Amino acid sequence: MKTGRFPIGDEDAEHDASLQLAPLRGETRVITSPARVARQTAQWIADTVEIVPAFDDIDYGRWRGRSIREIGEHEPEHVAAWLADPHARGHGGESVAMLTARVASGLAFVDRLDACERCIVVTHAIVVKAALAHMLGMPLQSVYRMNFAPLSATVLKRALPAEAWTAGLPHDPV
């Protein structure tokens, strides 16, 4: 939504961030959303990436590619509901609750990986918000109070599968 429009899913990355992401290169498993922008970003981190559809962007339904202003003018009640209720889906696509259920299956896949293996998931801000709400047991409405910059990183980790998840920034001692 950097351009004031809901994404359509096949946008290119806005700029080459390969130098910015170079420190992440190495022996790390990289998982990505199927969206072109996520795949391009993931390929700046690793030569081999694994596409996991559970980490795809939310389905914005008929709002895909349309300007936020246009939708706000023509469907103000649906926009207001979508921004307040995680179960609302006036656009005909996925609700935040539906997205969170899908993301939970992707997180379960990551959780089954080798516990010692570092894994980077390249995905979309709304997916990160849903993942945080799910993993930390926060109410779904909390996604509306989160904000992430493009190319930012969030770290989710735990020592053992039976332990609680912690969240932090890449250089935080979580």
Domains belonging to the chain, first-starting first, are 18-168 (3.40.50.1240)
User: Alpha-carbon distance 39 to 124, whole Å?
Assistant: 11
Angle, helices 125-135/96-111, rounded to nearest 10 degrees: 70
Q: Are 29 and 50 in contact (CB under 8 A)?
A: yes
- Strand, helix or coil for residue 154: coil
Cα–Cα distance measured from residue 110 to residue 167, given in angstroms and rounded to the nearest whole number: 15
Tokens of 111: 């959780």
* Per-residue model confidence (pLDDT) at position 154: 85
* Per-residue pLDDT at 19: 52
Identify any residues that bridge with 157 across adjacent strands, giving them in sequence order: 166
- Look at residue 12 in the predicted model and tell me its pLDDT: 58
Kind and range of the H or E run holding 77:
helix 76-84
| Rounded Cα gap, residues 60 and 148, in angstroms | 19
Per-position pLDDT tens, the chain of length 174: 345 656 666 655 555 555 555 555 566 789 999 999 899 888 888 888 999 999 999 999 999 989 888 999 999 999 999 999 999 999 999 999 999 999 999 998 888 887 667 788 999 999 999 999 999 999 999 999 999 887 788 888 777 777 778 888 776 544
Identify the pLDDT of residue 174. Answer: 44
Look at phi and psi of residue 164 and say left if phi exceeds 0, alpha if psi is from -120 to 50, else beta.
beta
DSSP 48: S
pLDDT at 1: 39
